[in-house]
Amino acid sequence: MTGSALPADLDDTTVTDAAVASFQDTPDPRLRACLSILVEHLHAAVREMELTLTEWEEAVDFLTATGQKCDDTRQEFVLLSDVLGISSLVENINHRMSPGATEATVLGPFHMTGSPHRELGDSIDDMGRYEPCLVTGRVVSVDGTPLAGASVDVWQADPDGYYDVQRPDVVPPGNGRGLFTTDDEGRFWFTTVVPSHYPIPTDGPVGGLLTATARHPYRPAHIHFIATANGHTPVTTHIFVADSPYLDSDAVFAVKRSLVRDFGRVDDPDTAARHGLPHPFVHADIDLVLEPARREELA
Amino acid sequence: MTGSALPADLDDTTVTDAAVASFQDTPDPRLRACLSILVEHLHAAVREMELTLTEWEEAVDFLTATGQKCDDTRQEFVLLSDVLGISSLVENINHRMSPGATEATVLGPFHMTGSPHRELGDSIDDMGRYEPCLVTGRVVSVDGTPLAGASVDVWQADPDGYYDVQRPDVVPPGNGRGLFTTDDEGRFWFTTVVPSHYPIPTDGPVGGLLTATARHPYRPAHIHFIATANGHTPVTTHIFVADSPYLDSDAVFAVKRSLVRDFGRVDDPDTAARHGLPHPFVHADIDLVLEPARREELA
């Protein structure tokens, strides 16, 4: 019995049409469009690879292990997106900046929703094990107007290459993090330690992928910033340390030339004394330039 | 400082080139080729969708939840692959059968590695709550030669639409499953109950996807088979019940016309008595036709 009421069998290409058609009643047109595009490309990739059953099983196992590696402080799918260049691509698509505005980069997996509030001039290094450095800067609009009362969320690895959440046994939560509010002239300043380049976590499936593909896991040294100000589009970015290794081969494809800054040594005894720093001391100046919000964002 | 030694910034298309290039030292050429194809298509999909950051976060959350839904008896990524038509496509690519050979279909998420060994004629229904039916068949080679000593692994849902592993509290493990060995004439036979159509599990992320896309979760009624014989390519397939609902809209795109069989009522008192069945009784006859193994499989 051949089931004469049945449609024709699906083949390598009609199965793609059938999968796309299965989404035709999706109420949300955006979801329907995205799923159609995704199914077309995933099927095309499978056909082009001529993926074997064993490889399909390996892919299922890899994705499963990636999901199961995630917890409150670890997001392995973000890491996967990062090392495949997808996070960087999504950033590029969504943040086409005006000339002069600070470029956006990936959020990365180490942002915590609650950076500790700190006062201007505070240190974000709670450990005191390494030479402190000074970071100064302003949050300004693209026309140069200083943005008073702007929020500056900062987080970074330490000179050993670790974020606080990676060593909860030896580092207090909030170390290397701070939430600052700019002064009347849009300025912010704090002391910290110069971050090190570091490997992304390699003890999970993404680390296995890097090993299998002979890729190094390193990110060049950087400090993360999110700057938020009234009437402006927030920017999520990194500032990279100019003399760091791996600036030309960031494991997550996030380096932009405009975001590289010198962390140079300055001989200025008065400033050193004012901030309780040795002299000469290391200093980086980092202006964050925001675009006025587009009309739809203000609505 | 603009880092004059740095390469140019990555844009929407050069980030794809950089991601592909990052795999250039992969020792395994097959892995390198697959990753390159996958990255090209994923990036193209992201560009075509103009994926927003919020949608990217939703995608990360969806994939994470999918991985975390998996356990020893639940494989949510297989389900996801199934409802996107990818599993069916992979089957099609890998099982281009000779005319006359039984077509392959997806394994599905409910196969257990250890179906209980049963004797020819045994029932695979350990519950006795529903009318039994008879399944008979032969494992043969494409030229018609019966394959004695072939292994026939069978698993199915019950008339309520559940596999044993879905109701461990009320159904013993192995119910609806059996591993048989064909007799000297390649024959196998057992009694069972006619399976019902059933929904794929909808209490996880894939169920949420079906709801959001107004898709039903049902599979038409079927019995799974894996037939294995010396010197032949094993076949993993389903046999579908001819009068089942959803034959034309299987949630996992696995129906093939050649795999639909009548489960008809037969008035044959002698056969009924021999198998301990009521009469008239329901009977399905299911030959499984294997291809001789290709040379490389025998090597």
pLDDT range class, residue A166, cuts 50, 70, 90: confident
Give the closest residue to B101 by CA, choosing from B224, B234, B5. Answer: B234
**Residue linked to tokens 């950089």:** B18
**Beta strand B177-181 pairing with A198-199:** unpaired
What is the pLDDT, as a whole number, of residue B3? 44
A 171-200 residues with CB < 8 A to B = none
pLDDT level of residue A252 (50, 70, 90 thresholds): very high
The residue written with tokens 């600070």 in the block is A102
Residue A110: predicted pLDDT:
83
Question: Using CB atoms, which residue from B22, B46, B212 is nearest to A26?
Answer: B212
A209 Cβ partners below 8 Å, 6+ apart?
A: A62, A80, A83
pTM: 0.87
Tens-digit pLDDT profile for residues A94-116: 887 778 999 998 888 788 778 99
Report, as an integer, the average pLDDT of A19-25.
97
Q: What is the mean pLDDT of residues A107-131?
A: 89
> What pLDDT is stored for residue A5 in this prediction?
66
Any idea which fold A77-298 has?
A: Protocatechuate 3,4-Dioxygenase, subunit A (2.60.130)
Delimit the domains of chain A by residue range: 9-51, 77-298
The CATH label, of 2.60.40.10, 2.60.130.10, 3.40.50.970, 3.40.50.12500, for the domain at B97-298 is 2.60.130.10
Residue A286 has pLDDT above 80, yes or no: yes
- Does the beta-carbon distance from A260 to B1 stay under 8 Å? yes
Mean pLDDT value of segment A18-27: 97
Among the partner-chain residues A1, A93, A248, the one whose CB lies closest to the CB of B51 is A93
Q: How confident is the model at residue A1, as a pLDDT?
A: 45
Task: Work out how many CB contacts closer than 8 A connect A with B.
Answer: 250
Q: CB-based contact (8 Å) between B213 and chain A?
A: yes
pLDDT, residue B141, reads 97
Contacts of A248 in chain B (CB under 8 A): 5-7
Closest CA to A153 of A93, A92, A225: A225
d(CA A176, CA A173): 9
Q: Measure the CA–CA gap between A76 and A68, rounded to whole angstroms.
A: 9
How does pLDDT run across A194-241, given as a tens digit for each residue? Answer: 999 999 999 999 999 999 999 999 999 999 999 999 999 999 999 999
Strand order in the sheet with A222-228: A177-181, A151-156, A222-228, A235-241, A260-261
Shortest CA gap A93–chain B (Å): 7
The H-assigned helical ranges of B72-145 are 76-83, 86-94
ipTM of model over 0.85: yes
Phi, psi of A283 (to 5 degrees): -140, 135
Kindly determine whether residue A45 and residue B35, on different chains, have CB atoms separated by under 8 Å.
Answer: no
Give the rounded distance of the alpha carbon of B102 from its chain centre.
15
What is the average pLDDT score of chain A? Answer: 93
Q: Residue B72: what pLDDT?
A: 85
Angle at the Cα of B190 (from B187 to B194), degrees rounded to 5? 125
- Exposed (0-12), middle (13-18) or buried (19+): which is A257, by Cβ within 10 Å? middle
**Pairwise CA distance, residues A253 & B9, whole Å:** 9
pLDDT of residue A3: 44
Q: Is A271 left (phi over 0), alpha (psi -120 to 50) or beta?
A: alpha
What pLDDT is stored for residue B298 in this prediction?
A: 58
Q: Which element (helix H / strand E) includes B180? A: strand B177-181
- Tell me what pLDDT residue B165 has: 87
Positions of chain B with pLDDT lower than 70, given as ranges:
1-5, 295-299
CA distance B58 to chain A (A): 11
Q: Which two tokens stand for residue B61?
A: 């959350």
